[in-house]
Amino acid sequence: MDADLKHPKGGLLASTRNANRLAGSNERDAMFARLHEIVLDGLRHGFFDCVITCELVNERKRRVVIKAGKSHQFTIREEDLHSGSQAS
């Protein structure tokens, strides 16, 4: 993760995010990748403000909006909440 701090804004992290979306990663993974990028960018600058909201939408999906300068919206399916790595 320390190596990520050395890359200029929009460099490796932006390329990784775009590659993940093209590779068919689910929205949950894309949301966490974007949140990771926002926090690292804020740490590089020494300050940041971020607001995260979530609401239930059609078919029990979750709409997550991350507001950090720009708004980034993700719609996460309920089944994606149970897949992937779990914290122990």
Please report the pLDDT score of residue 81 as a whole number.
Answer: 86
Domain boundaries, the chain: 2-80
How far, in Å, CA of 46 to CA of 5, rounded?
A: 12
Terminal CA-CA length for the chain: 21
> Quick one: DSSP state of residue 8?
P
Radius of gyration of the CA atoms of the chain, in A: 14
Look at residue 25 in the predicted model and tell me its pLDDT: 58
Q: What is the pLDDT of residue 83?
A: 65
User: If the chain, 88 residues long, is cut into consecutive pieces of 10 residues, what is the mean pLDDT of each piece?
Assistant: 45 47 70 96 94 95 95 93 60
DSSP line for 43-77: HHHT----EEEEEEEGGGEEEEEEEESEEEEEEE-
What pLDDT, on a 0 to 100 scale, did the predictor assign at position 82? Answer: 82
pTM score over 0.75: no
